[in-house]
Amino acid sequence: MTTDFKLSAESEPPRLGKLSKLARFGLLGAALTVAAGTFAYFGGWFIRDDLTPARFVDGFEQVNGVHAGFRRNHAKGMGVFGFFDSNGNGVRLSQAVIFQPGRVQVIGRFSLGGGHPDVSDKPDAVRGLALQFSLPNGELWRTAMINFPVFPFRTPEAFYEQLIASKPDPNTGKHDPGKMEEFLASHPETVQALTVIKGQPSSSGFDNSTFHSSNAFRFINSAGDSIPVRWIMTPMQPFESANNASIPQDKNYLFNALIAQIHRQPLRWRLIIVIGQPGDPTNDATIPWPAEREQVVVGTLTLDRVESDDTSAATDLNFDPLVLPVGIAPSDDPLLSARSAVYSQSFTRRAGETKQPSAIRPSDVRKGE
């Protein structure tokens, strides 16, 4: 048993007066308020209309509806597998293990932009290619690319504004063109970016699409030199122009064509690193870098297997563009941290839901095997 020790030097403290007691309780209350308030402040409880990851994803859900288990953007997609052969040319640019000569395994996903998992394939829809490279030392590199040469929005706030402006009217089911005009009027950088995007001829399929990193990153080599870069995956399949005049009846024609092509032969892309020069914007994804910038081919991506989103392990991955190996670092582009945050929020929401079957079913993928 324990009895208690008493500090004989400090016998009973003198009784507190009423006022003193009140003041001491006040002090206690103030300390408690400061502690709770600090926590609430960091949690953003005092800034109700700030754009948070949750509010961003709410925006996608307001525009597209909630499709349980699906990504809140790039909802329609299909898994792919393959490998990347590095030629060693990237070693001088980045110490990332992936650039040492050799082969690494790749899992990825082709997708269409937008939050509808059953959307019909269209030639002008945003095409996405997300990849995960598994490096031999256990590191992972994830990149989520699209077929636009520049990104239409400079900031996450602009992206969100445009998203909300595209929200369909509940009565007509169509978006209000006036709201979009209003958005474009206040975002000249988006107008300029769209001019660049429309100036690029659209290809016929996923196989002959060029995919871009969208954001700038930094490469750090073993000497510690840090350079700004963007990257491109350029198809080795010949370019064929998209036929905008007659869109095929098949609502999955882009995916079905890709399945048939991969069953015929593996598809290949060259990974090209574009090296930025001082003055090239790294914090503005809407602006293209000059065409004459040095380009280094660092290897070849081969994709030789497809799998439905219903069964592919890629479905359960978050292609967070900031999952980077040592040797690749984020730039000062504000979109990067925002993408990481919003992807994570979308991933967490869908992870807790029961997923409905995807548009591209396992039986579609087996056709022509």
For residues 39-98, which are near other proteins according to CB under 8 A?
A: 39, 42-44, 50-54, 56
Q: Is residue 156 a contact residue for other proteins (CB under 8 A)?
A: yes
Between 35 and 180, name the residue whose CB sits nearer to other proteins. Answer: 35
Q: By CB under 8 A, how many residues form the interface with other proteins?
A: 59
Between 136 and 368, name the residue whose CB sits nearer to other proteins. Answer: 136
Q: Answer for the pair 144, 128: CB distance below 8 angstroms, yes or no.
A: yes
Q: What is the rounded CA–CA span in Å between residue 332 and residue 125?
A: 28
- Quickly list DSSP for 23-66: HHHHHHHHHHHHHHHHHHHHTTTT-TTS--HHHHHHHHHHHH--
- Report in angstroms the alpha-carbon separations of 171 from 58, 167, 300: 20, 12, 49
104, 254, 328, 336: which one binds other proteins (CB under 8 A): 336
Site track for other proteins across 112-131, x = CB under 8 A = --------------------
Q: Is residue 341 a contact residue for other proteins (CB under 8 A)?
A: yes
For residues 30-49, which are near other proteins according to CB under 8 A?
A: 31-32, 35-36, 38-39, 42-44
Look up 263 and say whether it is catalytic.
Answer: no
Between 23 and 180, name the residue whose CB sits nearer to other proteins. Answer: 23
- Quickly list DSSP for 259-310: HHHHHHS-EEEEEEEEEP-TTS-SS-TTSPPPTTS-EEEEEEEEEEEEEETT
Q: How far is the CB of 234 from other proteins (least distance, A)?
A: 28
Region near other proteins per CB under 8 A, out of 76-84, 194-202, 284-292, 335-343: 335-343
Which residue in the list 74, 116, 175, 187 is annotated as catalytic?
Answer: 74
- Report in angstroms the alpha-carbon separations of 298 from 40, 96, 98, 233, 333: 47, 12, 10, 10, 24
269, 289, 319, 347: which one binds other proteins (CB under 8 A): 347
Exposure letters 14-42 (e unless 16+ CB within 10 A, then b): eeeeeeeeeeeeeeeeeeeeeeeeeeeee
297: phi then psi, degrees, rounded to nearest 5: -80, 120
Give the residue numbers marked as catalytic. 74
User: Residue numbers of the site for other proteins (CB under 8 A)?
Assistant: 1-10, 13, 16, 21, 24-25, 27-28, 31-32, 35-36, 38-39, 42-44, 50-54, 56, 137-140, 156, 313, 316-318, 320, 322-323, 326, 330, 334, 336-338, 340-342, 344, 347-348, 350-352
